[in-house]
Structure 1
Amino acid sequence: MSGGEKALKDDGNELGRLLQFWRSRLDCRRIAGVDTRRRRLKPGVTQKELAKLAGVSVNWYRALECGGRHKFSEGMLQRLATTLRLDEPERIMLFKLSVGHAPPAPRLTGDISVDDNMHALLGLVLPHPACIITVDWTVVAHNQAYERWFPWVANEPNIVRWSFLDLDAREQLVDWREVWAATFLAQLRVALAQNPDSAELRRLKEEVLDGCEEAREIWAENRSQVHADGEIRRFRLPCHGGEVVAVTIMALAPLRNTDLCFIVLLRAPGRDAPATGTTLASVTD
């Protein structure tokens, strides 16, 4: 037991006890990057393993779990909450006990007004999952089918951040690295070039690259892509009993508000359809 874990015996350290509990319920067998060959009988992940997964230093995490008085940035706390798979009440507890206030509301890019007609269109495309996103991939509206497929949207509205920082994404997004991760980062590079003044896009890039080692490796490949419209992707979701489901991505932009994008997932024939993607071009960073 490390010095940080011993400090949990302090009865006044409520946050420390919660963090230890949240660590203990993680299934290390389902987490990429955790060596399970020489596991202890103790469940969950260690402080060192969690710090690595969340993209923070071990000393930073131990200080948080020990109840020390330090400045903990909101970005780091958000990454930690995602890594621990905290629901909204638990995320609020993490922020309240560590920095004294609730987590900030999501910051959205551009004009995000979604009118009644757009909401109606989400319902008209049922039973296909559909959502409306901003230029930084934040979901601002969705239909019931989308929430059934992706229940995490209630706690993490940003698709890209979830894809890189949530521990379930690699299992649910088939061919995660080559198809999903590479494409998202290639699109993010183009979005940053098109919106150089967007603080939200810059923040998203920093959070993803800081929190995911593989994202940093893929980013260094200098690939670019404008959109994923028309591509076939595959999911392995709990709502489908773990079966692989293939969809065609349809991405549409309303002419009166091109800051928004309407995404519809159309079931592709045959659940074993191969995952395909537009060729990603290499560029100079």
Structure 2
Amino acid sequence: MNRQALKKLLKDRRALISPETHGLTRPTGRGRRAPGLSQGQVDELLGYSERTYQRLESGNYHHPPVDLLRDVARLYGMNEQEWISLCRYARGEDPPGPLYDTSGHALPAAWADAVVGITHPAYVTDASWNLVTCNDRFHALFDSGRAPVNTMRWMLLDGRDQLIDWATAWAPLVMPQLQAALAQRPDDKVLRQIEADILADPLAQPLYEKGGASIHPDGDERPIRHAVEGQGWVTMCVAQPLAAPGSRCMILVFRPGPRRTGSGPHMLKAQENGMNA
């Protein structure tokens, strides 16, 4: 727990909430003059017992429940980055999921310009793996000349002809990503439909039910047939736009020909004392 940071975050956000917007009155006469809601009014609005919020803001609530933090964050209108900070300050860990169900489906428009400027095939998807933006090099990967509307569906159902060794090199690594996403977003209609279609598919269904633990593709190298350049290997570089939890920016480094020999991806590290290797 970081008490000082927690207190500042909550106090500053509480000061921005006018009691009148929630049908409450600001105390008059002698006493409190601080702006925003009082600590007691937060308890009243959220339905918690007296001084619950005071314990939280002062840092005297050891490992407070996530439900309490979520209620406070939504009352204060926090964004996803503030929500992450709140959980880290109060519990010493990242939140178990996004603050809002709609998070992960809208990104800053600057990502479109950023993706266009990347020299490798690159794209951004939202939390449901719907394509948000991509560059022309990504479009060129596909037989149709156009990127798929949903990359998860393409990898698990529609793109098998291009994904070399799909049943061993792709499906067992991608399906756990879908399962992990649904565990965090069980009401996502797009992902639920993809799951239903997988369970109705005789090739995909047994692989999906087998499950797996690999849910992060960053640094993976997988075989693929490029629509223009032929067979080769694509190395995946993954980043997440911070404003949209669950979204992802993928940069695909394609290399035609056979797989390189080696024991795994090369790992980069910061150089000590600012010296280059």
Q: TM-score range by the shorter chain?
A: 0.5 to 0.7
In 1: Cα distance, 2:261 partner to 2:207 partner: 19
* 8 Å contact kept, 1:132–1:142: yes
Bigger helix fraction: 1
In 1: Cα distance, 2:144 partner to 2:263 partner: 25
* 8 Å contact kept, 2:237–2:250: yes
CA displacement 1:245-268 (0-9 Å, x = unmatched): 212101100122223200000135
Unaligned runs of 5+ in 1: 1-107, 279-285
- TM-score w.r.t. structure 2 length? 0.53
Q: CA deviation at 1:277?
A: 11
* 8 Å contact kept, 1:112–1:260: yes
In 1: Cα distance, 2:244 partner to 2:263 partner: 27
Which residue pairs with 2:190 in the alignment? 200
Q: CA deviation at 1:222?
A: 2.4
In structure 1, what residue type is equivalent to 2:141? W
Map 1:53-68 onto structure 2 (within 5 A).
none
Deviates most, 185-194 or 195-204: 195-204
Which residue pairs with 2:204 in the alignment? 215
Structure 1 residues 195 and 109: alpha-carbon distance in aligned structure 2, compared to 1, 3 A threshold: same
Residue from 237, 248, 252 that aligns with 2:235: 248
Which residue pairs with 1:113 in the alignment? 106
Unaligned runs of 5+ in 2: 1-100, 265-277
* 8 Å contact kept, 2:107–2:244: no
Matched, 1:148 2:140: yes
Q: CA deviation at 1:208?
A: 2.1
Matched, 1:237 2:226: yes
In structure 2, what residue type is equivalent to 1:134? D
Map 1:30-49 onto structure 2 (within 5 A).
none
* 8 Å contact kept, 2:143–2:227: no
Residue from 205, 212, 217 that aligns with 1:228: 217
Q: CA deviation at 1:221?
A: 1.2
* 8 Å contact kept, 1:228–1:277: no
Q: CA deviation at 1:156?
A: 3.8
- TM-score w.r.t. structure 1 length? 0.51
**In percent, how many aligned pairs have the same letter?**
26
Q: CA deviation at 1:111?
A: 3.8
Matched, 1:177 2:167: yes
* 8 Å contact kept, 1:233–1:275: no
Partner of 2:228: helix, strand, or coil? helix
CA displacement 1:104-162 (0-9 Å, x = unmatched): xxxx9744334332011112212x10000122222111101001112548484112222
Q: CA RMSD in A?
A: 2.8
* 8 Å contact kept, 2:156–2:175: no
In structure 1, what residue type is equivalent to 2:242? L
Count matched residues. 164
In 2: Cα distance, 1:275 partner to 1:183 partner: 21
In structure 1, what residue type is equivalent to 2:173? T
Query: Which of structures 1 and 2 has the bigger CA Rg?
Result: 2
Which residue pairs with 1:162 in the alignment? 154
CA displacement 1:8-39 (0-9 Å, x = unmatched): xxxxxxxxxxxxxxxxxxxxxxxxxxxxxxxx
In 1: Cα distance, 2:216 partner to 2:225 partner: 22
Partner of 1:213: helix, strand, or coil? coil
